[in-house]
Chain A
């Protein structure tokens, strides 16, 4: 049903397959609204959630998606793993596969590790975030949320605000959104915009007001305080004044802009609490769509039956 066996990233991923995933996700979204939220689609399939990096929401979202589809799930996290005993990435992967599983959902701190994993195992691999590279399932739920709100993604103007350099969400959003025909502007401190990013088909701006005036929606990225320690931006105070989505700023713009955030939020830093909880924000819709999107991805990649 999908052209590729794995979901490693959205770079060069077929646009029609992204659309298929989103359309399927809307069907599962209906399932999630039912009193009984479980379907037998992936009964008998086994999925391992292989998390080499801490994650709460993505792991729970995947686990719920698996359980709603009646798959058997096993969780593996780095803190409890044999990695600490010196086992290599390859051995860990091959050991898990030897137990006869159907898919691996992996989060790993290193770019490219999901691609590497496909060389060591036959199972379907789904990238749940590889370092600062890609986070394709997040981008798919972002696009689903935009489609829910606007009817379609093509032609939308979307701003991505914050630390673009270290954001896997930004990269997958850029690949996915441009592939579906949206216009993208990235906006953040110049030290957190990676070089030559215009080559990915986006516009760069350092003027948040201008981006908000232009955009239909903005995705507000979490700013990590540890980036400040190495001098990538001087202070939270200045960050907030230049790039914070504040009530005052939105009032000044005087125009409706849809606010998204991949979480976890630093309320009062990159986004005001009032904004996050306000009518313009679709942050909790994103969370629900995340479960539906991941159900769709698992379902389509594991060849489940309706």
Chain B
């Protein structure tokens, strides 16, 4: 991948333009000048403009990931804002929201400012999510107002469930003032207990402690009831079970409820059977579930119960993941492999249209997080991705730009690959 500053004038020539906002799909050119959209349609290229041939390629809004971990500050050995931004570009992402479980956690306006200042010059938009509770300790709600003022876009104690129902209620109530979503990592810690993988026949076979699906669904149900009670915005992260899907579907019948949900590529792609390899790169929270759950997630994407894709990109060092299964940390990286994995499962295998899949990666997450959605409008910053949507490729070490390598997608054949990612005045040529 080569990242360079954009030429003063660029024409993306002859691509198929997909506008997720208007759901239009047509052949055309995009003229970018000084990093901004100048014109869209049939462009008779200006003299001296850089021409990027997009024949046979899709040109659409840059992907937006509402859920990544870039580990800065505190664990820069795993990832930094800079290396994370590179991973994002390689995956076609122009905008990501970073979770606050750093060291120290992003639980104050000062820490929110730190992330924004540190990422200002990076070629990807990075938005901090503030902690729900001070120190992510689950006891006292954080300064949401002050964090919003500094640029926080949502609140989450991700990685750590808000176990205390009263604290969750207060957080939801308080968040109404800032009008931003509360994102709770929903796993009842007592029911999850020591579980390291999905509970079921596979955990029984392997002798690994199981984490039952109800650990998730019980807390999702609690959160949805509380959101209804408080009339707050709630976004359910990394839904992994058929049971949680069922609750979300039921609650979406209440159209006054501001409820959204995301699913990860790895929960759509893998099933617990794969843990038979004891591959620590498949150790993740919530765990990789059963085939029944996986199919329920695909169905939930199809019927709109699930709104968007989020990678939950969670880098860990090789040393940590080379440990035995019990000691290895939870999490896997997912930005670089996201589109190829999701497009393979939802498109090639489940028959969703490319338009729908791209909408899950662009318009929907932007709407949830309150970002600009009319990205082909004249004067808008050029924030685009150019894709080879049908290209089959084998995901390898060379495709990783994260500082970490912990991914179960290595060696997997994926369908669809980003070619160029354009944002903040830069062009990433992914190759």
Contacts and interface: CB of A to CB of B under 8 A. Distances in A.
Interface hub of B207, B212, B278, B322 (most chain A Cβ within 10 A): B207
B207 A132 contact: yes
Give the interface size class of chain A. Answer: 20 to 34
A134 B204 contact: no
B325 A110 contact: yes
Contact of A134 (B200, B203, B207): B207
A195 B210 contact: yes
Interface in A83-128: 88-90, 108-113, 115-116
A132 B207 CA distance: 5
Contact of A200 (B205, B208, B322, B323): B205
A109 B208 CA distance: 11
A194 B278 contact: no
Interface string B173-192: 00000000000000000000
B324 A195 contact: no
A115 B319 CA distance: 18
Interface string A161-188: 0000000100100000000000000000
A113 B324 contact: yes
Q: How large is the interface on B (under 10, 10 to 19, 20 to 34, 35 or more residues)?
A: 20 to 34
Interface in B338-361: none
B326 interface: yes
A197 B199 CA distance: 11
A268 interface: no
B274 interface: no
A72 interface: no
Contact of B204 (A89, A115, A195): A195
Interface string B292-327: 000000000000000000000000000100111111
A11 interface: yes
Given A112-B278, A115-B278, A195-B210, A200 B204 contact: yes
B146 interface: no
A238 interface: no
B130 to A, nearest CB: 35
B278 A11 contact: no
Given A116-B278, A195-B210, A111 B325 contact: yes
Contact of A11 (B205, B212, B277): B205
Contacts of B209: 132
Given A110-B325, A111-B278, A113-B325, A171 B207 contact: yes
Nearest first, the 4 closest Cβ-Cβ pairs linking A and B are A112-B278, A133-B207, A132-B207, A110-B324
7 contacts: A88-B319, A89-B322, A90-B322, A110-B326, A111-B206, A116-B325, A134-B207
